[in-house]
Structure 1
Amino acid sequence: MKILIIQQKMIGDVLTSSILFEALRQKYPKAQLDYLINNHTYPVVQNNPFIDNFIFFTEKEASSKTALFKLGKTVRNKKYDVVIDIYSKFSSNLITLLSVAKTKISKYKWYTSFIYSQTFKELKRPKTTAGLAIENRLRLLEPILNENSQIFQPKIYLTSDEIENSKQLLLNHNIDLNSKLIMISVLGSSENKTYPLPYMAEIIDAIVEETKAQILFNYIPNQKNKAKEVYDLCKIETQKHIFYDVFGNGLREFLAITKHCIALIGNEGGAVNMAKALDIPTFTVFSPWILKEAWNMFEDGKTHVSIHLKDTNPELYSTKSVKDMKTDSKELYHSFKPNLVIPKLKSFLKGL
């Protein structure tokens, strides 16, 4: 049997969907299991032992219909028996349509029955602590597993060399690995997924005051000025604990550095999902418009904890749709003051 899973979009999505390969490998140990993903997301599934081959969707296919058709023909020539399309985007619809797979599975949209042999409406409420992002993905396997899959947790596979090299990097920057080291996800992937910078500075002040830990910032090069703004907003005493210039040159290096931390704290997004996949405790501040039930994966109130404005001010959501919340994210964020977050954060920190 040859199975292709298509998961375009962001790093957290690609990592989360990788659980399907472990479930499939358990049922079909000799099957060929391939993954079609955006090329920049590859580092989070690199070395995954359950995936046989990768097919990459690049900027070329995103900007050229000719290139997209060529990719679809490549998939067709591989003659997959099953294609599972996680998000059902236009490009993945076309790739699936061009495939010769008899079994085509995706989420339900009004038009998907014309392309796919089986579609599923997404659950609205989670049944387990795994969360909707996990549960809805596993439902896509039901037609070929002929049963409900057990719950799997995403995993990231680092090499011993990567872990050792990151250890040496930290030591070279005078970081004491015998003392607490905490990674801060200071910025989200967009402005409407980023906790206000002055508020984030107050959160970091509270972390240092409570733990006296060494602090690392997670940010990408084009976010450096914003990250520096958070640093400058922190108290002078807090700044002494922040190793602002220590960060990973690439995603795999970030992952290896995070492996040495006792926790990752900050904005919901890919960094949180990656920390969970590395078995690192997390404290997540959700954007006011993101559905917490979907992405608070494996939250247990101790090792993995999160907070959402809806938890503290539910009255703000009584008449708002998701579209409204996204539009009003700046105003909602303004209401999500640090004094609402810090008590729960301090409880989390005491458990580290």
Structure 2
Amino acid sequence: MKDLRSFQPRRILVCQQRQIGDVLLATPVFQLLKQRFPEAELHLFTEAKCEPLLRHNPFIDKFHLVEKTGFFAELAFYRKVARHGFDMVFNLQNLPRCRMMTLLSGAPVRLSMKTGSWRDWIYTHTVQEVKGYASETKVTLLSPLGIEWKGETPQVFLTDEERQQARAILRSCGMLEGQKLIVIDSTHRRQSKRWPAERYAEVVRLLAEHDTSFTFLLLRGPGEEDDITRLKELCCERGVPSAKLFIPQPLPSIRLSAACLAEACLLIGNCSSPRHMAVAVGTPSLVIPGASGTAWRFPSPLHDELRPALPCQPCDKIQCDEPHCLLQVTPEMVFRKALELLAR
């Protein structure tokens, strides 16, 4: 089957593993496949930690969530999934687990990006990767079906109850009627993508002095409590009222964090999954990407970056002794760009 444009699968498997942001960026693939094949079952093979943000997605019929349980237990899991009898498999990520799942699926049509290596024999069709926004690149894999990316965004499908819970969380933090929320995402596991906390605190000060109706949600994940407590202290040292700095207790689930982000007028942060969540819930974003590449910015005037023009950037290093891509971005630059985005 060289020409797939007339192929009508009954059951489709999409393979996409970590990280959470990567899986969220794959949601346009689910949407476009389901729109093309509304009668087909669409299954997703991913990690358990990635499922919450995809919950309630109307384009996914079934999840297959793999855990780190050892080789033989995982092999048995792959075989169990394969018994669903897939007609078509898309491997969006050439990782060992995705390759193994694709191989054991026994599907007559198996697609992935061309690598030019021995791994390509696993697939019946390989596609030359087209560089661009990450979601656009993933949708490239659907090109043998005649499907193209036309600006579809990542999506998080929040329930009305979750939106109400998010508003209740913000009220419990002290948010009042008429105040405007800005989300600050200041943490990152990689030093080369983490703008200094002192600079975030200065941006918060500048914004708080510019408009007294601004309030700030200091976003955090598991294990980041100390970092966020320190950020709040730095803000308070600069004269920002503690009542304007929100740190919900206990830590909200990732879906409720997304629902809180949906209530905001802007996200300011590092290059991590919240920037993709912001696109998915329709909140403008301003990112200091550091060592990150350009594929993570959704092409829209409402989603911007501050990226110095350096010959070494982007490098995607984990660590850097002289991270000029971060340090050349000043709080004043972020403040001015934030006001531009808010005006839009």
TM-score (norm 1): 0.87
Q: Answer yes or no: is the 8 Å Cα contact 1:36–1:54 preserved in 2.
A: yes
1:251 equivalent in structure 2? 254
1:111 equivalent in structure 2? 118
2:5 equivalent in structure 1? none
Does the residue aligned with 1:69 lie in a helix, a strand or coil? helix
Question: How far does the alpha carbon of each residue in 1:55-99 deviate from its partner, in whole angstroms, 9 at most, with x for none?
Answer: 002122xxx111221122112211111111111101111111111
Q: Answer yes or no: is the 8 Å Cα contact 1:248–1:257 preserved in 2.
A: no
Q: In structure 2, do the counterparts of structure 1 residues 331 and 165 end up closer, same or farther at CA, with 3 Å as the change threshold? A: closer
Q: Work out the CA distance in 1 between the residues paired with 2:81 and 2:138.
A: 22
- The answer to whether residue 266 in structure 2 is matched with residue 263 in structure 1 is yes
Please give the root-mean-square deviation of Cα atoms over the aligned residues, in Å.
2.1
Question: How far does the alpha carbon of each residue in 1:205-253 deviate from its partner, in whole angstroms, 9 at most, with x for none?
Answer: 2222233311111101311111122222224422432123457421111
2:296 equivalent in structure 1? 295
Query: CA offset at residue 118 of structure 1?
Result: 1.7
Question: How far does the alpha carbon of each residue in 1:270-322 deviate from its partner, in whole angstroms, 9 at most, with x for none?
Answer: 111111111111111112x2112x0111322xx22221133xxx3x43xx773
Q: In structure 2, do the counterparts of structure 1 residues 159 and 7 end up closer, same or farther at CA, with 3 Å as the change threshold? A: same
Q: Answer yes or no: is the 8 Å Cα contact 1:120–1:140 preserved in 2.
A: yes
More helix by share: 1
Does the residue aligned with 2:15 lie in a helix, a strand or coil? strand
1:194 equivalent in structure 2? 194
Q: In structure 2, do the counterparts of structure 1 residues 152 and 102 end up closer, same or farther at CA, with 3 Å as the change threshold? A: same
Q: Answer yes or no: is the 8 Å Cα contact 1:211–1:349 preserved in 2.
A: no
**How many equivalent pairs are there?**
330
1:158 equivalent in structure 2? 158
Structure 2 matches for 1:138-153, cutoff 5 A?
A: 138-143=139-144, 145-153=145-153
Q: Answer yes or no: is the 8 Å Cα contact 2:188–2:272 preserved in 1.
A: yes
Can you give the 5+ residue segments of structure 2 that lack an aligned partner in the other structure?
1-9
Partner amino acid for 2:62? N
Identity of aligned residues (%): 24
2:34 equivalent in structure 1? 25
Q: Answer yes or no: is the 8 Å Cα contact 2:182–2:217 preserved in 1.
A: yes
Q: In structure 2, do the counterparts of structure 1 residues 97 and 89 end up closer, same or farther at CA, with 3 Å as the change threshold? A: same
1:215 equivalent in structure 2? 216
Q: In structure 2, do the counterparts of structure 1 residues 277 and 68 end up closer, same or farther at CA, with 3 Å as the change threshold? A: same
TM-score (norm 2): 0.89
Q: In structure 2, do the counterparts of structure 1 residues 306 and 329 end up closer, same or farther at CA, with 3 Å as the change threshold? A: farther
Question: How far does the alpha carbon of each residue in 1:112-149 deviate from its partner, in whole angstroms, 9 at most, with x for none?
Answer: 3121122223223x3xxxx2x02211111122x23435
Q: In structure 2, do the counterparts of structure 1 residues 155 and 206 end up closer, same or farther at CA, with 3 Å as the change threshold? A: same
- The answer to whether residue 24 in structure 2 is matched with residue 15 in structure 1 is yes
Partner amino acid for 1:338? P
Question: How far does the alpha carbon of each residue in 1:131-174 deviate from its partner, in whole angstroms, 9 at most, with x for none?
Answer: 2x02211111122x234354321111111111112222222332
2:135 equivalent in structure 1? 134
